[in-house]
Structure 1
Amino acid sequence: MSHPHWVLSCKPGWSHFRTLCVLAVRIVSFRPITVTIVISNRPGLVDQVTAELRRCLHEQIDQEASCIERISILAVPIDQSDPDGAFSSAWQALRDEVPIARRLKDNLLVAVPLPSLVILDGFQLSWMRIIRAQGDGKAPPILQWMMGFSAGFVRMCGPADLGGRGDALRSLELRDCLEATKPCGRLVHIPGLPPMYDWEFFPWDHGAKSEIILAAEAQEADGLLTNSSIAYDGKECLDGISEWVARRGDRKTFHLGPMMPFRPGATRFSQSVIDAELSSMPNGDSAKSLQFLDQVLENYGPRSLVYISFGTEQWPESLDQIQALLNTLAQRRIPFLLTYVSPAAQLPAGAQAQFSDLGLFVRYGPQQAILGHQATGWFLTHGGMNGTMEALSQGVPLIGWPFSVDQPVNIARLTRVLDVGFELMEVRSGVNGLQPVHFRNHKPSGTTAALEKELAEVFDAMVGEEGNKRRANAERVRDDMARSWLEGGSARNEFENFLDFWMKA
């Protein structure tokens, strides 16, 4: 009897794939299931995903050989003129049970059975519709994989009674939708969060096209999987999501987070996992980063460094803001490590030379190694899911600099409820970003001088009693996250229930 065959995929952003790799390895290590990961065949991406899967498998020592046998990667050719057509052909091959190369083991072609379950992230609505169109009414169930924070998901996709704007996004054309959901100062009540004005969700001016796709897929999927956890999202919000999803066809939701490459109960990245991450970094950035961190530890002591990363896709809109950040760090002699992998990244002219005595600038940073290093004290972040979770898994508190989508809600949850960091207000801009913030009764000015003043206050607070309190809270969240994957823990139980339900479906 063949194993069930589950197909997983996500948009080609690395932050999305990293969590998907953990999910894939967990599935094959917990149950006799065959998994195929479908990816766009972008330069280097297949090798990157293969390396990440191997890295996660290091934590499954007793089962590594059998797990490798049951994970395959299917690379979809890139066709910019017809990206959905390329996937349509790939899905037809899966339906025809065409053998797939076993890339993690020996690259031999192996037969796989017809897919019985598909897991897609929220940006793959067109792929979901292709699968159903080819299925002639017999397509496998398709689950939406939500790897962001739950409160942000509720705001973007949920119903109005939970503080969401998903109903409006799903019912209107783009132009009408933007007008109907235009912020006007109304108070929004999301489960697990204090009230927020609707304009607080837009620190920058940005479009809503991606949110429309997310909201539509949330409506059309056969169920929902999230990377959320009671430890950081809270029971109130998770229960609200589960109840909302079940309103349509009694669909099931499973909250599987945190998805981290840890052994159950661990609070540190193992050395084998760190070594694998270091070996995957290009251009010698890993060696430079570790050498710099060791020097900071020796010269400034533990928890002295601020790690700065705005993710793989976004970057502050103003070079003046970056200059203000670097100047304020230098004035207080705070060492820092800044990564700038985003295609939008720009640094002030001469910055690397000007601040070379205090800071290191690298395009690719080994993030988990950095966050786990004794020198690292704080993480300045846009509030993306992966980096935030990796920081909290190490008990590292945060400084929030949100841009768009779910990030403002994520930072609000982290700073206003969990109290594991500070939120920067003066980085906001635009018509909505400069409106009052309800929680602090504060109206940002958006000037460089105001940002410099705020940064100085935050950097002073982080080395005092306020900073110590937030660090203690971050360490508490870290411990709660670790316990959730122990036998009988909330994440472990939820994951077992997810596997059992869909293996029987």
Structure 2
Amino acid sequence: MSISRGTQDAQNLIQYKLQSEDVLTKSKDLSPQDISNLLVCVPGIPPHYQWEMATQELPFAGPVMSFLLGRWKAMVERIDTVISCTTFEMEPISATALPKFIGKGLEQFCIGPSVDLTPPHQPDPDSPVTQFLDRAYAENGAHSIIYISFGTLFFPLMDSIPHLMAVLDEISKFGYRFIFALSSASATLDKSWMDGHIDAGNAIFPQWTNQTAVLEHPAIHYFLSHGGWNSTTEALVRGVPMIFWPMGADQPTNAIQIAAVHDCGFELLQVRTGPAKFVAYQNGREVEIVGTDDAVRDEMGRILKMSKGTRGRHQRMNVRMLGRVITESLGPGGSGDIALERLGVKLGLV
């Protein structure tokens, strides 16, 4: 039995099939550079280079890749059931293709993501984050703040900090304020630079935020994120479009799925540092990854300009509809609810 999600399951299985036995049996010295520029076609998402699943140069990537590929090899030979933490309606092509992909029938349960669907959270009025949100809403109106979080495990590496500062400076340049949740233990930014934004009233840098409450606030414009599945689905069900800076794991696939397939956001390309730092495959054409601070500023500027216009309004409409699809799937009688009950029967729990 495997627990994952639709498109990522299909992506993993295809990546597994693309690896030679030599690569699969390599030692812990397996490197991300072993990933090639082979054009990969996964059912349900646009074609992309294989190396676009390694968007950042992470120090632990080699051992983790070696371990996971070995586990996938063993798992594919044994599994008969897949539990996908997605809804069928979000990824119908991938979900349909997955059970047949490895040459044997798999029983699949699309039980949906684990998101909180309770009524809006009541923010703490004494919280500096709430006060920052309310002040921006009173002064600049709706969609005037960009919320930023890379979660608790990921953060851009030191070599990418100039790119990160360029992105954040561009946000202020376009008249937006931002909340940057520095939850990761590896989160490091220049204090004098941070103080400059704080003193100007442009930003706040809390170590922790009530993320769902922040995403529900009408002042939020977009969510800049690493694109982990939990953060992504929390944004979707609250109608907040995204800007993706994926690091690894399922995040590159999530970025493609949400930004390219559903047009519910954008992906930053010029910040790439891994094997994918040379070229991306977007909409049937190659996009050069220049990778300079100026290239990052230009890309972020284009994204922010589009977010203010028709493209941004369209993405906000899309994300609200997709969020409704997820919510209805998880509700009583929805496809996720029914799949969860079927799974309970299979496991003898119902």
Q: Same fold (TM over 0.5)?
A: yes
CA deviation digits over 1:364-396, x for unaligned, max 9? 111111111111121011110000000000111
TM-score of the aligned structures, taking structure 1 as reference length: 0.62
CA deviation digits over 1:399-456, x for unaligned, max 9? 1111112211110111111010111110112443223424352111111110011111
Structure 2 CA distance for aligned equivalents of residues 170 and 344 of structure 1: 36
Choose which of 199, 215, 238 in structure 1 pairs with 2:72: 215
CA deviation digits over 1:307-356, x for unaligned, max 9? 10111111112220121022111212201110111122111231321111
SS at match of 1:427: coil
Structure 2 CA distance for aligned equivalents of residues 340 and 380 of structure 1: 13
Matched, 1:193 2:45: yes
Structure 2 CA distance for aligned equivalents of residues 167 and 437 of structure 1: 18
Question: What's the counterpart of residue 427 of structure 1?
Answer: 271
List aligned pairs for 1:329-478, cutoff 5 A.
329-356=171-198, 357-439=201-283, 440-478=285-323
Judging changes above 3 Å, is the alpha-carbon distance between structure 1 residues 334 and 223 closer, same or farther for their aligned structure 2 residues? same
**More relative contact order, 1 or 2 (CA 8 Å, 6+ apart):** 2
The unaligned stretches of length 5 or more in structure 2 are none
Structure 2 CA distance for aligned equivalents of residues 270 and 217 of structure 1: 43
Question: What's the counterpart of residue 346 of structure 2?
Answer: 501
Question: What's the counterpart of residue 54 of structure 2?
Answer: 202
List aligned pairs for 1:244-323, cutoff 5 A.
244=101, 247=104, 251-262=106-117, 269-271=118-120, 274=121, 287-317=127-157, 318-323=160-165
SS at match of 2:239: coil
SS at match of 1:174: coil
The unaligned stretches of length 5 or more in structure 1 are 1-142, 263-268
SS at match of 1:330: helix
Question: What's the counterpart of residue 6 of structure 1?
Answer: none
Q: CA deviation at 1:177?
A: 9.2
SS at match of 2:89: helix
CA deviation digits over 1:151-171, x for unaligned, max 9? 233222x1xxxx332574888
Structure 1 CA distance for aligned equivalents of residues 20 and 192 of structure 2: 44
Structure 2 CA distance for aligned equivalents of residues 404 and 260 of structure 1: 21
Judging changes above 3 Å, is the alpha-carbon distance between structure 1 residues 170 and 298 closer, same or farther for their aligned structure 2 residues? farther
TM-score of the aligned structures, taking structure 2 as reference length: 0.88
Structure 2 CA distance for aligned equivalents of residues 488 and 451 of structure 1: 45
Q: CA deviation at 1:182?
A: 2.4
Confirm or deny: 8 A CA contact 2:16 2:73 kept in the other structure.
no
Structure 2 CA distance for aligned equivalents of residues 214 and 395 of structure 1: 36
CA deviation digits over 1:88-139, x for unaligned, max 9? xxxxxxxxxxxxxxxxxxxxxxxxxxxxxxxxxxxxxxxxxxxxxxxxxxxx
Confirm or deny: 8 A CA contact 1:462 1:468 kept in the other structure.
yes
Question: What's the counterpart of residue 334 of structure 2?
Answer: 489
Please tell me whether Structure 1 or Structure 2 has the larger radius of gyration of its CA atoms. Answer: 1
Judging changes above 3 Å, is the alpha-carbon distance between structure 1 residues 178 and 154 closer, same or farther for their aligned structure 2 residues? farther
Percent of matched pairs sharing the same residue? 25
Q: CA deviation at 1:461?
A: 0.9
**For the aligned residues, what is the CA RMSD?**
2.7
SS at match of 1:380: strand
Matched, 1:225 2:83: yes
CA deviation digits over 1:183-220, x for unaligned, max 9? 33221010101111112222123321453365256434
Q: CA deviation at 1:462?
A: 0.4
Question: What's the counterpart of residue 102 of structure 1?
Answer: none
Question: What's the counterpart of residue 241 of structure 1?
Answer: 98
